[in-house]
């Protein structure tokens, strides 16, 4: 939905033809029936806030051809999008697919079963009931379509927060800033097993990564040339199903023109508790926290008062438009020690760290002036991501887990070694050693 809004408005500015619009409408409305339309509430999209249910389904050509799924698929990704065109704000709340809900005649089921049993209509009705808000529009995309859209724009640049090696999700991804093709973007959006051995909630991490890729895709479309945009719209319309017309999408996009993704887009995750029962995971909504969150969202506020970052993986799990995760401020205590005979090396390192957002940094001299290499030392596995951030800010060095040889009271100890170049020009190693 977000991607097609951006694509269509740019194409419209370039003079999209009426016949082409009708062709796109025909594709977009395939599969939209009266049951879904009767489940949606009417709103004045350009003059009042409204909600859109976004579903990413597990349908793909491979799954369809296998016959293993009997033509029935589930919603692998579930997001509730609130658009406030008048105030140029958008809020994305991810909802756990494993949330236990009452599906009426289908009994107690996981939320993602709503789409399998009753299609978009039942999914809209169920999410609307649990969130306590009326839903005005629906948009869905399948696995094949998502990968094709990313490829159509030439890939998306994403800072992958943690290395992924997950065959169930499709393969391997290195951590760090890189351009992902469609297949790779899908791996990032699908992976849950990556987080199984951490303290992080796998569904929350995956949902955060999905929002990360969506944002990158939207940015790429805005920066694309007209030919690429036209190609993207064509691909989108083949895989996206929505009740919206091209004219509706153009109206929304024009009203949102000027929206700043850094300050005007809020994100969050439905609060739940997870339980492992009879070989499977189930999510149960924290009703009090959920009501508080949705009350904030419905009032046009961020889902949470401040943004949050998972300490283990560095994954941004929610944004508020003004939190530390948005401003780049890093408050962990860092002690920088000069282990060389180069005067001012530690002071220069402190300057680099402060310019990168670190606010609690002090300089001093090491107990020896014969360190060959620059090191960033941490005591606990949960600090590895931040240690790698320090390496990146310095432009060189290696993140090393303390083996007991180093004693320090701050969260991180930086020792400047003889390889120090003055910072910013070297290439650091972000691999962790024991």
156/176 same-domain check = yes
CA separation, residue 365 to residues 34, 65, 234, 325, 392 (Å): 73, 66, 61, 31, 22
How many structural domains does the chain have? 2
Alpha helices in 100-201 (DSSP H): 113-131, 143-152, 182-190
What is the rounded distance in angstroms from the CA atom of residue 187 to the CA atom of residue 206?
10
103/164 same-domain check = yes
pLDDT value at position 73?
A: 53
Per-residue pLDDT of the chain (434 residues; tens, 9 = 90+): 555 554 544 444 444 455 667 888 898 898 899 999 999 999 998 889 999 999 987 654 454 444 444 444 556 789 999 999 888 888 999 999 999 999 999 999 999 999 999 999 999 999 999 999 999 999 998 877 888 889 988 999 988 888 999 998 899 999 888 999 999 999 999 898 888 776 567 888 888 898 888 878 877 776 667 677 667 777 878 888 999 887 787 777 777 777 777 788 899 999 999 888 888 888 999 999 999 999 999 999 999 888 887 777 777 888 887 644 444 457 788 999 999 999 999 999 999 998 888 888 999 999 888 899 999 999 987 677 788 889 888 989 999 999 999 999 899 999 999 999 986 433 344 333 32
What is the rounded distance in angstroms from the CA atom of residue 418 to the CA atom of residue 340?
6
25/68 same-domain check = yes
What is the rounded distance in angstroms from the CA atom of residue 141 to the CA atom of residue 269?
20
64/203 same-domain check = yes
Judge contact between 381 and 400, C-beta under 8 A.
no
Which domain CATH number covers 358?
Answer: 3.30.70.2390
pLDDT value at position 61?
A: 45
341/320 same-domain check = no
213/260 same-domain check = yes
What is the rounded distance in angstroms from the CA atom of residue 314 to the CA atom of residue 122?
35
Judge contact between 394 and 405, C-beta under 8 A.
no
What is the rounded distance in angstroms from the CA atom of residue 344 to the CA atom of residue 125?
64
pLDDT value at position 229?
A: 67
Whether the full predicted model's pTM is greater than 0.85, yes or no, is no
119/265 same-domain check = yes
Domain of 205 in residue numbering reads as 2-324
First vs last Cα of the chain: how many Å apart?
45
47/174 same-domain check = yes
Point out the domain boundary residue: 276, 295, 324: 324
Cβ atoms within 10 Å of 11's Cβ, excluding its own:
21
Which domain CATH number covers 234?
Answer: 3.40.630.190
Q: What is the DSSP string of 310-370?
A: -TTT--EEEB-SSSHHHHT-EEEEEEEEE-SS-TTHHHHHHHHHHHTTEEEEEEEE-S-S-
332/301 same-domain check = no
Contact residues for 280 (Cβ-Cβ < 8 A; gap 6+): none
119/267 same-domain check = yes
Point out the domain boundary residue: 293, 324, 355: 324
- Helices vs strands, H then E, count in the chain: 15, 22
Point out the domain boundary residue: 296, 324, 352: 324
Cβ atoms within 10 Å of 331's Cβ, excluding its own:
10
157/87 same-domain check = yes
43/105 same-domain check = yes
């Amino acid at each position: 939905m977000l991607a097609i809004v951006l694509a269509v408005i740019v194409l419209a500015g370039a003079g999209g033809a009426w016949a082409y619009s009708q062709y796109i409408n025909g594709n977009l409305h395939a599969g939209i029936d009266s049951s879904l339309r009767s489940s949606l509430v009417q709103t004045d999209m350009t003059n009042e806030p409204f909600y859109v249910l976004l579903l990413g389904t597990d349908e793909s050509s491979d799954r369809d051809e296998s016959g293993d799924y009997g033509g029935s698929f589930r919603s692998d990704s579930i997001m509730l999008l609130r658009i406030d065109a008048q105030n140029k704000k958008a809020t994305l709340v991810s909802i756990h697919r494993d949330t236990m809900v009452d599906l009426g005649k289908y009994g107690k089921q996981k939320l993602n079963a709503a789409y399998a049993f009753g299609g978009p209509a039942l999914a809209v009705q169920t999410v609307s009931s649990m969130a306590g808000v009326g839903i005005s529009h629906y948009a869905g995309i399948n696995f094949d379509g998502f990968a094709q859209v990313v490829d159509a724009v030439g890939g998306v640049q994403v800072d992958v927060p943690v290395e992924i090696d997950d065959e169930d999700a499709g393969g391997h991804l290195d951590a760090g800033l890189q351009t992902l093709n469609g297949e790779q973007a899908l791996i990032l959006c699908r992976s849950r097993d990556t987080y199984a051995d951490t303290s992080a909630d796998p569904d929350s991490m995956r949902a955060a990564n999905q929002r990360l890729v969506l944002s990158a895709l939207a940015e790429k479309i805005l920066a694309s040339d007209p030919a690429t945009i036209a190609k993207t719209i064509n691909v989108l319309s083949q895989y996206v199903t929505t009740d919206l017309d091209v004219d509706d999408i153009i109206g929304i996009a024009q009203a949102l023109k000027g929206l700043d993704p850094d300050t005007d887009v809020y994100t969050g995750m439905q609060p739940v508790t997870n339980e492992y029962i009879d070989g499977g995971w189930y999510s149960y909504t924290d009703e009090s926290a959920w009501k508080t969150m949705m009350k904030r969202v419905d009032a046009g506020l961020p889902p949470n008062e401040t943004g949050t970052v998972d300490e283990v993986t560095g994954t941004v799990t929610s944004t508020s438009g003004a939190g530390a995760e948005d401003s780049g401020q890093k408050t962990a205590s860092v002690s920088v020690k000069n282990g060389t005979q180069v005067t001012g090396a530690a002071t220069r390192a402190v300057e680099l760290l402060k310019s990168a957002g670190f606010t609690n940094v002090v300089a001093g001299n090491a107990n020896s002036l014969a360190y060959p290499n620059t090191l960033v030392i941490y005591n606990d596995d949960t600090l590895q991501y931040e240690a790698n951030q320090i390496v990146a800010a310095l432009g060189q060095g290696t993140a090393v887990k303390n083996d007991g040889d180093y004693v320090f009271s701050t969260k991180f100890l930086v020792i400047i070694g003889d390889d120090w170049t003055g910072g910013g020009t070297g290439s650091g190693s972000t691999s962790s050693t024991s």
